Structure 1
Amino acid sequence: MHQPTMTAKSAQSGSRPLKVALLVPNEALATGLETLLGRLDYVGGIHCWQSAQLLESLTHGECDVLIIAADQWDLLGEANETVAGALPRVLVLGDQLLETHGKDFSSLPSDGFLSMAELSLRSLDNALQRVISGEIPMPPHLARYLLAGNRSHVPPSGSGRSFHLTGRERETLALLADGLSNKQIARSLGISTHGAKRLVGAVLLKLGSPNRTAAVVTAMKTGLV
């Protein structure tokens, strides 16, 4: 059955079209993603990159969101150091990510995860819009794995790293763990979006995390949430 094109939510309302880049070596999968993206009316440009083009393309800021296959995700470790703050939003496409990237999971840049097994127009649309809004989309099974796997490995009291967060920062971290965007955090705390952004930045800095996902993983490992 033909599904209608999804309409962008308020996150994209009135803004320029979204530019999306794909780093997906599997040609059939890349073609399928292009087809789905072409049916989203807020996507205004789709670019297919090769691994060798990654650093140069990132440097030129050619996209707003990069959808990258899980087997290419390691490349962003080098890109993150080279391009620094120029990385676009990163949506990782794949399954069994923790099993294959366990040791690097919290250090590689990412803004969300999309299950290849559950890939559809609706799931792609949902993941893109949540990433745009500053949330951290991920399949339920990955969220459960993160929670169960990391809570069962909390270091004993007094061991491991110690983080000194203010009460407000702890509240912010708990909301981050729930997948809330800066705007939603601001509403929950009764502060401005700018204030929420500053608190999120402080949490990432204190936890030594490159992104929101890594901060939540670190927090679960150390029993902060």
Structure 2
Amino acid sequence: MRTAAGADGANATELPGRVLVLVRDELARVGLRGMAAAIPGVRSVTTCDRAAEAAGVLARHDVDALVCGPGEWVRLLPLLPAGPPRRLGVLHLLDEDGPHAVDVACLQPGHGFLMRSATTSAALRDALSRLGPDQVSMPPGLARSLAAGPGSGSAPARPERTRALNARETRVLALLAQGLSNRQIAARLGISEHGVKRHVTNVLGKLHVGNRTTAVAVALREGLLTGPEAEVRVS
């Protein structure tokens, strides 16, 4: 396990202060540690190469963000009997962006996705800054895979449950897919943040999902988002 001091800066409120990197490949791990430590607002970066070691760090220390290599989150979860820390943001590094790249356990609030091949200092900083419960970030290939669903090539089916979304709820869902926060959606629509929260709650209920990330995944898979507003913000 290695810990590096991060850079101080003015954006500490926008970025996680304490970052844990769980990646098996040593070269990638060292590179991520260096990139994360150089981000203003990140105060410390700890690295591990095994899920068991990371579980120990999470048990002993406060961690704001976890950067996971492919498959590591699924290995780590059984080692956390009390579950992950409530406010922990998780950034999943992906080797591929096909329909089977993401385990359902990763589709949770506060989780984001970044292609390992596209991981630069700027991309890492942007992805870490959007590990919030009201933002969604995923690579474009993953978004296309979810949009296509298992039967790409034919028009995606629209179950009866999805037709209950009204125009305003569909607009809110589209803005969620672009990665906008409640405050940004409120400003875009000219309504209050409370109104946005109410619309989001309605969307989750009508799609029968428990969080925003899964709502966006379902909407993409079932073809609910179409037109220029349906573009998913990518990492």
TM-score by shorter chain over 0.5: yes
1:32: Cα distance to partner? 1.0
SS in 1 for 2:91: strand
1:44: Cα distance to partner? 0.7
SS in 2 for 1:162: helix
Q: Which residue of 2 aligns with 1:48?
A: 47
* Contact residue 16 and residue 42 of structure 2 kept, 8 A: yes
More helix by share: 1
Q: What's the TM-score once normalised by structure 1's chain length? A: 0.74
Tell me the distance in 1 between the aligned counterparts of 2:185 and 2:198.
Answer: 11
Q: Sort the Cα spacing of 1:56 and 1:173 in 2 relative to 1 into closer, same or farther, 3 A.
A: farther
Q: Which residue of 1 aligns with 2:115?
A: 115
CA RMSD of aligned residues (A): 3.7
Residues 15-54 of structure 1 aligned to structure 2 (within 5 Å): 18-49=17-48, 50-54=50-54
SS in 1 for 2:43: strand
* Contact residue 8 and residue 129 of structure 1 kept, 8 A: no
Which amino acid counterpart does residue 24 of structure 2 have in structure 1? P
1:40: Cα distance to partner? 1.0
Q: Sort the Cα spacing of 1:120 and 1:14 in 2 relative to 1 into closer, same or farther, 3 A.
A: closer
Runs of 4+ in 1 over 6 A off after TM superposition: 5-9
SS in 2 for 1:101: coil
Aligned length: 216
1:93: Cα distance to partner? 0.8
SS in 1 for 2:92: strand
Flag structure 2 segments of 5+ consecutive residues without an equivalent. Answer: 1-5, 226-235
Which amino acid counterpart does residue 119 of structure 2 have in structure 1? L
1:116: Cα distance to partner? 0.9
1:195: Cα distance to partner? 3.7
Which range moved further: 144-153 or 88-97? 144-153
Tell me the distance in 2 between the aligned counterparts of 1:206 and 1:39.
Answer: 43
Q: Which residue of 2 aligns with 1:184?
A: 184
Percent pairwise identity: 34
Tell me the distance in 2 between the aligned counterparts of 1:40 and 1:208.
Answer: 38
